Structure 1
Amino acid sequence: MTFNKDADISGNRVRRAGAGRATGVAVGGVGGIGLLILLVVQLLGGNAQDIDLSGLTGTNQAEYAPGEGEESLVDCLDGADANERVECRMQATALSLDAFWETTLPDQAGIPYELPGFELFTAQVSTACGAATSAVGPFYCPPDRTVYLDTSFFAELSGKFGAEGGPLGELYVVAHEFGHHIQNQLGTMDAVNRTGTGPTSDAVRLELQADCYAGMWVRGAVETKDANGNSYLLAPTQQEVEQALSAAAAVGDDHIQETFSGQVQPDTWTHGSSVQRQNWFVTGYNEGTLTACDTFAVSGDQL
């Protein structure tokens, strides 16, 4: 999608980890960080809490604080900057997602939207879910309610995973992670069994729902506006929607397994097949409601 060049994206919405950022064990303990890397290195939208064995609880939310050396993206001012620079694009995307969910969540779920943190990092980062490296890929950490992303992942997405590339493919990644925050707010994460695997497992349903929430935002993104009434984004073209669908397919469990091992093992899936991920993104895009995105209400053959 293309950002409106006149949109105001200034402010401190997104943080960038500086050189002084601590990289040791964060509050709550590391848990299974080795397993986390092995699992999520091949998957988009990793949920770090899923394999933290230290019993992270809500109390960690208050204990965690950003580390020293963080910087805000003060040089990202308008939509023109977002169209030219990936970091500014991340800030603009977060602002649009905030505007969308600030309206949608109260209207459709009856609860206020709480802004998640959003931090860009390079190489490694310390979080309330433990220390992580870029190999983990983008992830959402429930205890500190923050999305973490190394923008080098976008090159990996097209170079290693075969995605078409393009801005909307990048924006889909961010919207998916914000989708996990919505699940956290709604209590979905705590209500389901995230330890199982397979095409119809709760873990897969959780990821497909986040894809659906991403589709909801793409549908409504053109209506999100800055404080001056300027739309953050222009309406997506069909080609741009195809970029998002290509990104969704690239991170399907079956595609990744076929690409890197030559074997597809559905019983090990944790995020869903390419077709599943595309279908649920399209459902969110076409329907635009939380109800339509209830992946836990459908039978296995409807996933």
Structure 2
Amino acid sequence: MFDVVRFRQRTRVERESAWLAERGKGVGGSDMSTILGVNKYQTPYSLWLEKTGRAVHEDISGRWPVIKGNVLEGELRRWFRRRHPAMSLTDGTGMSLISKAHPCMRASLDGVLWDEDRGFGVLECKTASAYRASDWHDVDGSLKAPDYYMAQVTHYLAVTGWSYGCFVADIGESEPVEVWFERDEDDIRAVVDAAEAFWGFVQRDEPPELTGVDVDALYPQDDGDIETTDSAEFDGLVDEYKHISDKQSKLKKRKDAVSNLLKPMIGEHSGLRSARYQVTYKTTHYKESFRPARDTRVIRTSEIKEK
């Protein structure tokens, strides 16, 4: 499924330099959230600038969250080994896996799992900062992996062909947490298609579609002039933008009004069920993270099939 490039340089600085050079030759797992548009800190265009040599990849190795993550990575692997003595776990750092079917796709794993029944799997170590710890819980408070990290490990499963993996993460709780994940062929295909499409832009030296953030970065200062255009596309987009904006405002007001009518109907109960619908108004407990621990009631609807 893949070739292996090992980094055997003598010093850590040399190994990191070699890894960065290899990273620039294709799409890595940490690039996938950007390519799929679920990374709020980078756009496909800014990543394209890096991959085509028009911009330098920002060195964040000196930032405390990165230092902390690097230090804890080994401890998280040891913690996982103690919890799963029947499984084999090998340190995956120091090498890059290159997909044979899609050579633009590369994977740098934190760990390689081996289970007698399931075969090889991916281990990904994460350390969440306080303000992102809430990303690891859904609205009910249950553990889940954030979408931007799921994009990364789905990329890894696509490169390796493996069927499962596990996050072991320090998210500020008394112990690290585990979040297991399974291969999903629809997600694999979406990731492969996205990687190939993005790398096509790099190879053709053609920029991907700009976002508003990209335009703000390219033109941080307006020139004070208002241009004139006869573009029908421009008028059509403005019509659509205005229509959506007006509709959103009206819908938000109506949604709040309907919610306020439903809540007293439910009252002290956790929900109300009819022949068609169930509406819950349960208390959700949020653990302390970057905000104090708190209880809040959230109204949610789920349709019940009619008998």
Whether these two folds match at TM > 0.5 is no
Point out which structure has higher relative CO (alpha carbons under 8 A, 6+ apart).
1
Larger proportion of helix: 1
Decide which structure has the larger Cα Rg and report it.
2
- TM superposition score normalised by structure 1: 0.31
